[in-house]
Amino acid sequence: MKTLKILSVAAGLLFMQAAAAQNPAISTRYSNEEIVQMLKAHRTSHSRDVIPPANIWQKFMADFPKASDVEWEASDSVYEVEFDVRFRDCKAYYDVSGSLLMTVEEMYRSELPAVVKNAAEAQYPKFHFEDMDRIRRGTEVFYKVEMELRDAEVELLIQPNGVIYSERMDY
């Protein structure tokens, strides 16, 4: 019985370590609004393919040791990296000092929290789930849910409590 308890505790610790590796700490150096502005500037700039400086590469490898198929782009103040972790598409954004600003991780529908799934289905009951991502930005977490019905597509940004933060329809 004691051995079973020790194994259970060890398994729990390994699970927590794996979860921590999957969810590296987002920097608290910037406010959520500052991060939004930095990322907006990055998206509207002429980013270019790059090899990042050693400090950013090392931080990335510490944050995502199981990353594969890694591709980098940079603007003046943000490094964007696209990569796979266990066959899932991911992105991470770093500032020039190596502070992690945001992560985006592809999800399966079955992994969406029930309250998020229910909010999406309640808003668009006839639509089908297409793509889902978990976004961690600053101190915020969002679920990006793309749903479609024939030629119509909607992109919802939903908070963990089920509140729809934004929605964009595309016909």
How many other CB atoms are there within 10 angstroms of residue 18's CB atom?
A: 11
Provide the 8-state DSSP code for 76: S
Between 3 and 104, name the one with better pLDDT: 104
Q: Dump pLDDT digits (tens) for 92-122.
A: 999 999 999 999 999 999 999 999 999 999 9
How far apart are alpha carbons 81 and 38 in whole angstroms? 15
Cα distances from 114 to residues 19, 47, 64, 140, 161, in angstroms, run 20, 37, 27, 18, 10
CB proximity list for 123: less than 8 A, separation 6 or greater: 156, 164, 167
CB proximity list for 140: less than 8 A, separation 6 or greater: 32, 159
How far apart are alpha carbons 28 and 45 in whole angstroms? 24
pLDDT at residue 171 in the model: 78
Domains and CATH numbers, the chain: 25-101 (3.10.450.360), 109-170 (3.10.450.360)
pLDDT at residue 52 in the model: 96
Residues 162, 115 contacting (CB under 8 angstroms): yes
The structure's pTM equals 0.84
Is pLDDT above 60 for 1? no
How far apart are alpha carbons 120 and 130 in whole angstroms? 12
How far apart are alpha carbons 159 and 23 in whole angstroms? 17
The structure tokens listed for 168 are 């964009």
Binned at pLDDT 50, 70 and 90, residue 18 comes out as: very low
Q: Dump pLDDT digits (tens) for 30-84.
A: 999 999 999 999 999 988 999 999 999 999 999 999 999 999 999 999 999 999 9
pLDDT at residue 22 in the model: 65
